Chains A and B, each alone.
Chain A
Amino acid sequence: MAAVAVHQFAPCITCHAWSPDQSMVAFCPNNNEVHIYKLLQDKWEKVHVLQKHDQLVSGIDWSGTSNRIVSVSHDRNSYVWNQEGPEWVPTLVILRLNRAALCVQWSPKENKFAVGSGAKNVCICYYEGENNWWVSKVIRKKHNSSVTGVAWHPNNILLATTSTDGKCRVFSTFIKGVDARESKTGSSSDPKFGEQIVQLDLSSSWAFGVKWSPSGNTLAYVGHNSMIYFVDDVGPSPLAQNVAFRYLPLRDVLFVSEKMVIGVGYDCNPMVFAADKSGLWSFIRFLGERKESSSGPKSGSQFSEAFGKFYGQSRQGLSSDTVEPSKIQGAAHDNCINCIELLKQKGSKTKRFSTSGMDGKVVIWDLENQQDLKEYL
């Protein structure tokens, strides 16, 4: 069993993030709060409730080194939370948005964070020590619709975004005074803040869930048309692979290694994608338990009934019971998974990750015993 722990925290969870030592998890239980739970003697206890937002908290990220939580909400605000003793103290970050904030991520060096919004822009926030506040610089151009996902390249400067306009874009977020100059010759070769490096026009439908591979060589994101896109050589002439699969669309992805990606979404079951030796990506299998019904697409009984009615008209004498209702036995999640997070481990190889979804569960997965996947780790 790849799912090693399942816990029901709330009726529904929008997003989650782990503390640096992974002893605590922060999530939004589909309301305007952030709940932090700690594992104490094999039981999860609620230890903090962060209450500052007025509307749904759509994104949470917990920085691994500096132990800061950033939360963004539909109320168009963002707070950076610092732990001072037993309390979490919020600092408002004025994003200057006129639409909801949808997603957030700390940069690798944790000196910046990016916020995607429904205002068709991305805010890059950095800390200004002189005035003791966080400043927001907005990338206003290029996006034609809501920004659904943001992902930092390991170099702390490039940012990839996905949008409901179907495109994935990579921008430079170079900020003078915050980022060190890469070139020694001067500022002319450094890309300016907000400059678009590349625009990937691979999907004709909403794009979600963009992530970079650990080295930053490969980019992956998903489309709402049940496709996943892998891009190598991100730059003027990118090498893209469009992988179509037979299941319901994904919402988020995670690079477990350079050659393995886990996708999560509406099938409530993590999907494993891997690249073979020639670099060709394909779907390997589902990670969790899955009972495939032989007569038709797997589904809960409501879905099967609908299919039965759909085909019932043309059956002329055949009963519509031939499409059996089949409930997935033993599946970890029973509703859409919308968030997947890496669980850092001591040692080099990543093997564990967590998922949260609309069923309000957080599930921890371990690839340790998945023998057929070992070659990709």
Chain B
Amino acid sequence: MMAGAEKIVEADNSEAIITRIEHKSRKIESLLKQNKPVEALKTALEGSPPVTRDERCKSANWIVVHRALMAIKNVEGMFSSLDPEYYDILMKYLYRGLSTGDRPTCDQCLRVHEKLTERAGLGCILRSLADTVNTV
């Protein structure tokens, strides 16, 4: 179960956010080369979603998450090393993936969705639907 006190996060400007995402992207490529897809996904999900209304930033972050997500071959195994704090944000990105309609993306997202729902429960789905403020 997750519990935490509320924090106020300052929203940066778009350039700073894009720079951070580019930095994340390089780190993710490096992790994938070292055959560490779960670490790559964690890196991608960290600091997500960007606290901004700028759609370019959100799309840039999605591209990075998508890259890491598609590299996961062993979905079941992924969950044994993915901390529960990532569940809610991962669920939001799964729905973004499903909304693309792209066959390979949707297949992967459905595979992960099934396992994530088993782990995190329906509450996780609810939170991804109900949060209209921190959208991905």
Contacts and interface: CB of A to CB of B under 8 A. Distances in A.
Nearest to B128: A225
Nearest to B132: A204
Contact of B3 (A226, A241, A297, A310): A241
A249 B124 CA distance: 10
Q: How large is the interface on B (under 10, 10 to 19, 20 to 34, 35 or more residues)?
A: 20 to 34
B10 interface: no
B121 A247 contact: yes
A47 B6 CA distance: 50
Given A205-B130, A311-B114, A245 B4 contact: no
Contacts of B120: 246
A268 interface: no
B126 A310 contact: no
Interface string A305-347: 0000011011000000000000000000000000000000000
B90 to A, nearest CB: 14
A249 B126 contact: yes
Nearest to B4: A242
Interface in B1-26: 1-6
Contacts of A357: none
A204 B6 contact: no
Contact of A244 (B6, B106, B114, B127): B127
A296 B131 contact: no
Given A224-B126, A241-B3, A246-B122, A297 B133 contact: no
14 contacts: A204-B134, A205-B130, A206-B130, A224-B126, A226-B122, A226-B124, A227-B127, A242-B5, A246-B122, A249-B123, A280-B3, A282-B1, A297-B118, A311-B110
Interface of A: 201-202, 204-206, 223-227, 239-249, 280-283, 296-297, 310-311, 313-314
Interface of B: 1-6, 88, 106-107, 110-111, 113-114, 117-118, 120-124, 126-127, 129-134
